[in-house]
Chain A
Amino acid sequence: MTARLSAVISVRNTLRTFIALALCAIIGRDVRAQSAALAAFCNPASIPAGAGTPADFRMRTGKLRGASPAGGVSTAGDVDLPGLVAALREELDKTRAALSAAESQAIERQIGRIIDVGARRTPPDFDTRPRANQPNPGGSFVLFVGMPDSIVVAEATPDAKKRAVCFTAIEARDIISDYMLPSRVALASALNQRVDRWNNFHEEGYSLFIPELLVNSWFNLGRPQLEPPSNQIIFLHPSVGVEAPVPFKTGVLGSDAMLLEGLGILHYNDDRTGYFGISAGTVFGQNERPGLAFVAHYGEFGHLGYVIRSKPSPGDPRRNTLIFSADLLKALNAIPGKWKAESDSANKVLQGCIQHMSCNP
């Protein structure tokens, strides 16, 4: 029984090993496995602090990076790129003896290209890429991967060469990053402003229903990529408003009605905080036949439409009407209220003046 059990376990273990090897190929990690010892030279986060490290170089060249006394890098575009490249060369000189002549030249060539960044050309590639285990069981890092003059750093590589290759690569990447920082920060700010325009478009703009989303997606109307619409098509857009007969007699009195705008167009300002436009549609009122409406839109004031209804007979007393958006009606009704409140307040002050023979509003 025990022998049978151990045979089963043995078969199971063999199978597991087989599966593990097959899965090894599946996960693919084996080819990029890097030991912690190697990472201590080539992975910036793993490099212990000390003199001659990339962090130390960074601190020593702070002035050339426009760093403030509090640290960090200038975003004002005053990074001294030629100065930093010269400093990098000086730094490399300290460890250059660990490199072969060909390796030294290869690195030198790429350092010379760092200055290209200032002319907006593609910078040199200083990434150290992890590569296959064999013949290096602890993994390896390759600088200038895929190129004829690539340099391999493995666990068995002398520390001086590891330093010369990996530290120089990390310092070069830092220089390029610092030089690009101001324009990258500027881009982040510009992209966030574009998001603000989208937020304005939703919060201050005219809402979009599904059919309108489709139509405005089909017809671009000059909208730049990733920008909110600057021209918006109104298409089958329903809204609830108040319909009032014209001319007004005693203020704006009306009844609820529904406006269905068939087609229209709106134009937005640059930051999408306001718009104006026109549309045509149909009004469905209470106890009324549908009417034809011509509507004007003006941003925060909402919309105002003139409604024409056919009369059943020439003598029919029914009149044409206006339709207001709820927002506009609120604004209109607020005007007399505001005027009355201000007038009441002025009267009160006047009465006080008369009573006390002095004015202290």
Chain B
Amino acid sequence: MTRLLIVVHGMGSNPPGWSDSIVQKLDSVASRYSAFSTGAPFSKQCTIREVRYDGVFERHIEDMGAKAAEFKKFQDEHHVPLPKLMEWLTGPTLPSQQQSFFWSTLMDAILYRAFAVVRDEVRAVTMAQIVSHCTANMRSGAVQASILAHSLGTAVVHDTLQLLATKPQLGNDSFTAAAGWHFESLFMLADVCRLGPPKLIDLPDADAGYLVRPRSAGTPGDLASFYCNSLYSFRHEFDPFVRWAPFLPKNWGDDFDNPTPLKPVCQANVHGFDHYLDNPVVHVPIINDVLGFSAISTKEALEAVAHYPPSNPVMCTDQVNQLQSLVSQLPDAGQDLEQMAILGAQFFTTAKQLANDCKALGGDLGA
């Protein structure tokens, strides 16, 4: 039996092989514990595969950028007047600066929520990759597949699995809950599956028939009533995106783990995948559940949590306070895409500045 961990990225640029850094991070955090400090690294004790849907956004954004450049050139050469209606084509609203936070990061979330054509392609691509990874590992028996998703990836995974669980895809029902397929654990880091205007969330978890829920939320003994054995939803107190729309389903039982929001700030970008993984409250259950036993003992886990974050000679307390203060004062933008984009860009820009300020002092709040 293969123990498979499928990792799914969030917003931002994620080229093929993006998960290498996540695998390294998992190995690095695992090596803090006795079972891994001398034995095989975590990633060698299970199979890790990545899902990449960023190509869908990339294609749209690059296409828009290329078209904008083409029209700008045409207009400059021929001085052909364009109607006012089309000024957006050559104006600053198109991605002339694709490196900006808006175009490289936040646009992904907007395209996913607001454009059904883009959303469906993202789901189709994600579904194909998840199913392919699972089936590729089934030749040697049943697979215990878990998914580790971050940020926008949590929304994509919730939605994609709901479609896969509830109805046959292309006439084939073999991955539905009714056919007995279910995932082992779903780990949602910076879970934003509820972020966005409610009318644009087309597969809400509150709906009857929502199956992306853990075993304890279903009917005992009925595999058709749930789609994963355990579901973990992690959020950080100072992650604005999760603050705006926390995922707090009711009565999902013991197999739903929704720890109180994390508090330690070790990176200015508190929303980062790495930042979540670094925290033992997050990585201990991931490592133990994926391996199927307590590779990290309860005693070790408690010690790790109690001593986290590790002390640092330069703590950059001022910068951390500034960041916490900024996030605490941000108005709730969870249901307004435009507001979310503006405040999100403000958060990322400030976080980068504070990380640079900390670096100048000799500290480290990430890049």
B353 contacts partner chain A, Cβ-Cβ < 8 Å: no
Residues on A lying within 8 angstroms of B by beta carbon are: 16-17, 19-21, 23-24, 26-36, 38-39, 43-46, 54, 58, 71-73, 117, 120, 122-125, 127, 129, 133, 139, 144-147, 170, 173-174, 176-178, 180-181, 183-188, 190-192, 194-195, 198, 202, 207-210, 213-214, 216-218, 220, 225-229, 236, 238, 240, 256-258, 260, 282, 284-286
A20 to B302, Cβ gap below 8 A? Answer: yes
Assembled-state Cα–Cα distance A220/B55 (Å):
23
Residue of A with least CB distance to B134: A184
Instruction: Verify A180–B74 contact, CB threshold 8 A.
Output: no
Query: Is the pair B169, A240 in contact by a Cβ cutoff of 8 Å?
Result: no
Given contacts A29-B298, A45-B45, A174-B141, 15 further A-B contacts (CB under 8 A): A21-B302, A33-B294, A35-B294, A39-B293, A45-B1, A46-B293, A122-B223, A180-B181, A184-B174, A194-B124, A195-B124, A210-B88, A220-B116, A238-B89, A256-B78
Please name all residues of chain B whose beta carbon is closer than 8 Å to the beta carbon of A39 when the two chains form the complex: 292-293
Cβ of B254: which chain A residues have Cβ within 8 Å of it?
A: 31
Asked if B132 and A258 make an inter-chain contact with CB atoms under 8 angstroms apart, the answer reads: no
Please indicate the chain B residues that have their CB under 8 angstroms from the CB of A181 in the complex: 135, 138-139
Q: Which residue from chain B places its CB closest to the CB of A178 in the assembled complex? A: B141
Indicate if the CB atoms of A122 and B291 lie closer than 8 Å: no
- Partner of B80 from A122, A145, A284 at Cβ < 8 Å: A284
Most buried by A among B114, B179, B230: B179
Q: Separation in Å of the A329 CB from the closest CB of chain B?
A: 15
CA distance A71 to B141 in the complex (A): 11
Q: Are A27 and B301 in contact (CB under 8 A)?
A: yes
B339: min CB distance to chain A, Å: 19
Q: Chain B's nearest CB lies how many Å from the CB of A241?
A: 10
Interface residues of B in 250-304 (CB under 8 A from A): 254, 257, 259-260, 280-281, 284-285, 288-289, 291-295, 297-298, 301-303
Contact between chains at A27 and B259 (CB < 8 Å) = yes
- Residue from A117, A186, A207, A282 in contact with B63 in the complex, judged by beta carbons closer than 8 Å: A207
B128 touches A29 (CB 8 A): no
The answer on a CB contact under 8 Å between B298 and A30 is yes
Question: Size of chain B's interface in residues, with CB distance under 8 A?
Answer: 90
Q: Count A-B contacts at CB 8 Å.
A: 250
Residue of A nearest to B120 (CB): A226
Assess whether A191 is in contact with B169, with CB atoms less than 8 Å apart. yes
Residue B343 at the chain A interface, CB threshold 8 Å: no
Contacts of B140 in A (CB 8 A): 71-73
Residues of B within 8 A of A31 (CB): 254
In the complex, whether B70 has a CB less than 8 A from a CB of chain A is yes
Stretch in B21-29, B214-222, B321-329, B330-338 with 4+ CB within 8 Å of A: B214-222
Verify if B348 is at the interface (C-beta below 8 Å from A).
Answer: no
Across the interface, which residues of A come within 8 angstroms of B289, CB to CB? 32
Q: Which residues of B contact A240 (CB under 8 A)?
A: 70-71, 74
Set of chain A residues within 8 Å of B174, measured between Cβ atoms: 180, 183-184, 186-187
Q: Is the CB of B170 within 8 A of A177?
A: no
Other-chain residue from B74, B143, B295, B305 in contact with A27 (beta carbon distance below 8 A)? B305
Q: Decide: B135 and A145 in contact? CB cutoff 8 A.
A: no
B286 CB to nearest A CB, Å: 10
The 7 closest A-B pairs by CB, nearest first: A146-B220, A39-B293, A44-B1, A177-B142, A191-B128, A217-B116, A43-B292
**Which residues of A have CB within 8 Å of B257?**
28
- Taking a contact as CB atoms closer than 8 A, the residue among A73, A144, A194, A258 that contacts B74 in the complex is A258
Say which residue of A24, A177, A202, A210 sits within 8 Å of B302 (CB atoms).
A24
By the criterion CB–CB under 8 Å, are B170 and A191 in contact? Answer: yes
In the assembled complex, B245 has its CB within 8 A of some CB on chain A: no
A156–chain B nearest beta-carbon distance, Å: 17
Query: What are 11 inter-chain pairs, A to B, with CB distance below 8 A?
Result: A29-B288, A31-B254, A176-B180, A180-B174, A180-B180, A209-B64, A210-B64, A226-B124, A226-B169, A236-B86, A238-B86
Most buried by B among A33, A177, A187, A236: A187
Most buried by B among A176, A195, A227: A195
In the complex formed, the residue of B with least CB distance to A13 is B306
Interface residues of B in 117-133 (CB under 8 A from A): 117-118, 120-121, 123-125, 127-128, 131-132
Set of chain B residues within 8 Å of A217, measured between Cβ atoms: 114-118
Q: Shortest Cβ distance from A306 into chain B, in angstroms?
A: 20
Cβ-closest chain A residue relative to B282? A27
> Which residue of B125, B221, B260 contacts A125 across the interface (Cβ within 8 Å)?
B221
Question: Considering the chains assembled together, what is the distance between the CA atoms of A174 and B144 in angstroms?
Answer: 11
Taking a contact as CB atoms under 8 Å apart, the answer to whether B120 and A227 are in contact is yes
